[in-house]
Amino acid sequence: MLKRSWIIALVLLIAQPAAADNDTIFDALLGHWQAKGNAFGAPSTSDMYWVNAKLGGKFFRLEYQINRTTPDGTKPIFSGIAYYQKPASPVTANDKIKAFWADTNGNLHPISAMVEDNALISNWGTPDTEQGRTRYQLMELGTVEVTDWVKTPDGWRRFNHTVFNRSETQR
């Protein structure tokens, strides 16, 4: 009976979301992630890389790529890079994390991010350009759910939702 209790406790521990207190969410995101899903209204495959940037240990770099197949058969690639300034420890829920985003559409957006529960929430853009929000949610069994919204005159519209699995492939 005691052995069975230990096994149940171990299974429950493994099924919990990845450790992501405010000091370690970036550490939990580090690595290569891959997903299949639907982005911009078309079937897609996506790659996400989180690494420590080689800038004096003061930044994390995100590289994100979406490969789509549109109804007309074209295969556009969308990619972007973000740099997140490493937050001071300990990070509180009210702390803002500075970052910026650049992508193949020619966008260059400032980002104000924060940690909420097991998620990194990035608010990007400006009222003069485009505004959006991306949520990187650490999920059970070590997956990451990424959801993107853009602000429209009618409110927030979701344009991407993908669940990533950690990949063994590194660069």
pTM of the model: 0.81
Q: Quick one: pLDDT at residue 40?
A: 78
Candidates 3.40.50.300, 2.40.128.20, 1.10.10.10, 3.40.640.10; CATH matching 18-166: 2.40.128.20
Q: What number is the average pLDDT over the span 144-152?
A: 96
Express each pLDDT in 106-134 by its tens digit: 999 999 999 998 999 999 999 999 999 99
Q: Quick one: pLDDT at residue 171?
A: 61
In angstroms, the CA 9 to CA 24 distance is 23
Assigned token pair, 29: 């995101």
Domain ranges of the chain: 18-166
Q: Quick one: pLDDT at residue 99?
A: 97
Percentage of the chain surpassing pLDDT 90?
60
Assigned token pair, 158: 């979701």
Count of residues making up the chain: 171
Flag the least confident range among 77-81, 87-91, 117-121, 146-150: 87-91
